[in-house]
Amino acid sequence: MKVTELAKSLGTTADTVRYYTRLGLLKPAKSVNGYKSYSNKDVSRLKFILSARNLGFSVADIKQILNESEDGKSACPLVRSLIKERLEETEKQFQAMLALRGKMSSALSQWEEMEDKAPTANMVCHLIENFEKIKKA
């Protein structure tokens, strides 16, 4: 199986497959012409990787998980502990985005009824530079 073939069969891109290959997550044999040749085992591994990415695991996480399972150990405890970490991070980022979204949309509406001003020596754009001050208005 060639790289594009594998990628398409699982709904991803050749670049993604190549990336995982570079990291050693997939281990294709080298075919005669130097092209990479992927096995059925690579197919299941890639399937796993894509599922895990979809659940918010980082590629580094996945590498760790695959290593664990290659030693014959159950990766389940590691998986549970990693997702706890990732979920906490996601929660933090989520709250940050929530706040940012609020700020941005309040700025947008505030700015709609404000006039344009030319820059001055110590003011680039009064919309931005006065935003925090009049936010409560």
Partner DNA sequence: CTTGACCTGTGTCTAAGACACAGGTCTAAG
Partner DNA sequence: CTTAGACCTGTGTCTTAGACACAGGTCAAG
Q: List interacting residues with DNA (CB under 7 A).
A: 2-5, 13-16, 18-19, 28, 33-36, 53, 58-60
Q: Which of 78, 8, 89 is nearest to 46 (CA)?
A: 8
Least separation in angstroms between CB 64 and DNA: 11
Nearer to a copy of itself, 32 or 137 (CB): 137
Which helix (H) or strand (E) is 20 found in, with range?
helix 14-22
For a copy of itself, the binding residue among 30, 32, 34, 108 (CB under 8 A) is: 108
Pick what 69 binds: a copy of itself, DNA, none; C-beta below 5 to 8 Å, kind-dependent.
a copy of itself
| CA-to-CA dists, residue 42 to 6, 19, 26, 28, 38, angstroms | 9, 14, 6, 7, 6
Nearer to DNA, 31 or 44 (CB): 31
Q: Can you tell me whether residue 90 is helix, strand or coil? A: helix
CA pseudo-torsion sign 18, 21, 27, 29: positive
Q: Using the 8-state DSSP alphabet, how is residue 100 labeled?
A: H
Using CB under 8 A as the criterion, which residues of the chain lie in contact with a copy of itself when the complex forms? 41, 44-45, 47-48, 51-52, 54-57, 65-66, 69-70, 72-77, 79-80, 83-84, 86-87, 90-91, 93-94, 97-98, 100-101, 103-105, 107-108, 111-112, 114-119, 121-129, 131-132
